[in-house]
């Protein structure tokens, strides 16, 4: 019984840690499938988290916070688009610039507006996305395994968590069952084919980049408005990069992306759980080693276990009509 509780506990925190990864990963998927590499997921998430927390604090509303998070994040995505689609700049440089701008400006603006050392004020309950209890969760709590799973694992998450997991089949459907998805995939593989078919390459890529902005905005909101109660400096802590790793790991496909994010989330949750707990045989392990574990495993997995990950063929290359 204790084991089942412990397991559900770890799985539960796996879900919580995975959500921002998953949203960022899907965000990257839209952009990269359209041929625009986006190393700036991290920055957009961070900016979204800050904007969301600031707006939620001022207006005392989670929804207004979400709106601002998405607006700011989409705005930054459009800057990336302007640099790399319209002006055919280097997408990596543009993405890195976005990250720097986000890292610096969130602290400066936070300090200027709230004078709390770059933090935003702690959010009241109405400024956050609270936990949603699924119907019957309490009643089933004592039914062994199934009831425990339902009430302990499926129920009790914030709205954004459910949105994140529903975004997976939705993204799959958009990508493979709609005209927009077909064109999006095509423009990431061979933009010239899209151009000669009479479709605007730039407009299509801008739309993809906007999708990315919306999802990174959601990811930032989740961190600032659901997982935590406000913005703390550098709160994304490299999740944007882990999301990129997950995207490669998943070979740019939505459902594998979800599993990749869950795996990374699980490693993260496990490392938190095992901190300070003596392991059998090895004994007590330094905290730092446990904390490094997800990253070490990331490197090992990416280096050895995914086989050949073929990125969208036109990825990273600005489209120039040939002479």
Partner 1 sequence: MAQAAIELIGINKSFGAVRANRDIALEIPRGTIHGIIGENGAGKSTLMSILYGFYQADSGEIRVNGKPTHIKTPNDAIAAGIGMVHQHFMLVENFSVLENIILGAEGEALLKNSISKARSELRRLEQEYGLEVDPDALIEELPVGLQQRVEILKALYRGAEILILDEPTGVLTPAEADHLFRILQQLKEQGKTVVLITHKLREIMAITDNVSVMRQGTMVATRKTSETTVEELAELMVGRRVLLRVEKDEAKPGAVKLAIKNLTVKDSRGVTMVDDVSFDIRAGEIVGIAGVAGNGQSELMEAVSGIRKAVSGTVMLDGTPIDLTGQADPGELRDRGLAHVPEDRHHVGLVLAFDESENSILGYHDKPQYLKGPFLNLDAIQKDAQEKIEKYDIRPANPRLKTANFSGGNQQKIVLAREIEQDPGVLIVGQPTRGVDVGAIEFIHKRLIAMRDQGKAVLLVSVELDEIRSLSDRILVMFAGRVVGERGPETSEGELGLLMAGVEHKEAAE
- Stretch (H or E) spanning 317: none
Q: How far is the CB of 186 from partner 1 (least distance, A)?
A: 5
* Site of tokens 């423009």: 187
Inter-CA distances, 317 with 31, 68, 189, 249, 321, Å: 13, 31, 10, 21, 12
CA proximity to 76, closest of 66, 84, 65: 84
Q: How far is the CB of 182 from partner 1 (least distance, A)?
A: 6
Q: How far is the CB of 37 from partner 1 (least distance, A)?
A: 18
84 CB-near residues (< 8 Å, 6+ apart): 36, 90, 91, 94, 318
**What six digits make up the tokens of 67?**
């709106």
Judged by CB, which is closer to partner 1: 57, or 187?
A: 187
Q: How far is the CB of 172 from partner 1 (least distance, A)?
A: 13
The alpha carbon torsion through 167, 266, 234, 62 (nearest 10 deg) reads 40
Q: Do 192 and 204 meet the contact criterion of CB atoms below 8 Å apart?
A: no
Neighbours of 178 (CB within 10 A): 11
Judged by CB, which is closer to partner 1: 87, or 177?
A: 177
Judged by CB, which is closer to partner 1: 88, or 313?
A: 313
The distance in angstroms from the start CA to the end CA of the chain is 70
CA proximity to 265, closest of 15, 7, 4, 3: 15
Q: How far is the CB of 195 from partner 1 (least distance, A)?
A: 7
**What six digits make up the tokens of 303?**
């280096």
Q: Do 119 and 97 meet the contact criterion of CB atoms below 8 Å apart?
A: no
Q: How far is the CB of 86 from partner 1 (least distance, A)?
A: 18
Judged by CB, which is closer to partner 1: 284, or 323?
A: 323
Judged by CB, which is closer to partner 1: 133, or 177?
A: 177
Q: Do 77 and 141 meet the contact criterion of CB atoms below 8 Å apart?
A: no
Judged by CB, which is closer to partner 1: 35, or 40?
A: 35
Alpha-carbon span 237 to 217, nearest angstrom: 16
Judged by CB, which is closer to partner 1: 143, or 309?
A: 309
Q: How far is the CB of 183 from partner 1 (least distance, A)?
A: 7
Contacting residues toward partner 1, per CB under 8 A: 176-183, 185-186, 189-190, 192-199, 313, 321, 323
Judged by CB, which is closer to partner 1: 149, or 250?
A: 250
Q: How far is the CB of 317 from partner 1 (least distance, A)?
A: 15
């Amino acid at each position: 019984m204790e084991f089942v509780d412990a397991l559900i506990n770890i799985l539960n925190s796996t879900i919580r840690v995975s959500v921002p990864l998953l949203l960022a990963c899907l965000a990257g998927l839209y952009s990269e499938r359209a041929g625009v590499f986006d190393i700036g997921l991290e920055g957009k998430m961070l900016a979204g988290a800050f904007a969301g927390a600031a707006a939620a604090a001022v207006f005392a509303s989670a929804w207004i916070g979400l709106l601002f998070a998405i607006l700011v994040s989409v705005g930054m995505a459009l800057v990336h688009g302007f640099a790399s689609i319209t002006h055919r700049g280097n997408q990596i440089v543009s993405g890195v610039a976005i990250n720097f701008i986000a890292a610096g400006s969130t602290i400066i603006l936070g300090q200027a507006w709230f004078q709390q050392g770059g933090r935003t004020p702690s959010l009241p309950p109405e400024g956050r996305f609270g936990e949603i209890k699924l119907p019957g969760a309490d009643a089933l709590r004592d039914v062994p395994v199934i009831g425990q799973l339902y009430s302990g694992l499926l129920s009790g998450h914030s709205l954004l968590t459910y949105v994140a997991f529903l975004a997976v089949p939705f993204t799959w459907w958009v990508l493979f069952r709609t005209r927009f998805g077909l064109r999006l995939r095509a423009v990431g593989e061979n933009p010239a084919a899209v151009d000669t078919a009479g479709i605007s390459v730039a407009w299509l890529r801008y739309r993809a980049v906007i999708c990315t902005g919306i999802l990174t905005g959601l990811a930032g909101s989740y961190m600032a408005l659901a997982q935590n109660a406000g913005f703390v400096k550098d709160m994304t802590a490299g999740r944007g990069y882990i999301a990129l790793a997950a995207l490669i790991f998943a070979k740019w496909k939505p459902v594998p992306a979800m599993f990749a994010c869950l795996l990374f989330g699980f490693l993260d949750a496990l490392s938190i759980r095992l901190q300070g707990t003596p392991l059998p045989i090895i004994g007590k392990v330094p905290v730092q080693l446990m904390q490094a574990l997800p990253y070490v495993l990331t490197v090992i997995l990416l280096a050895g276990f995914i086989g050949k990950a073929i990125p969208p063929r036109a990825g990273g290359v600005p489209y120039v009509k040939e002479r």
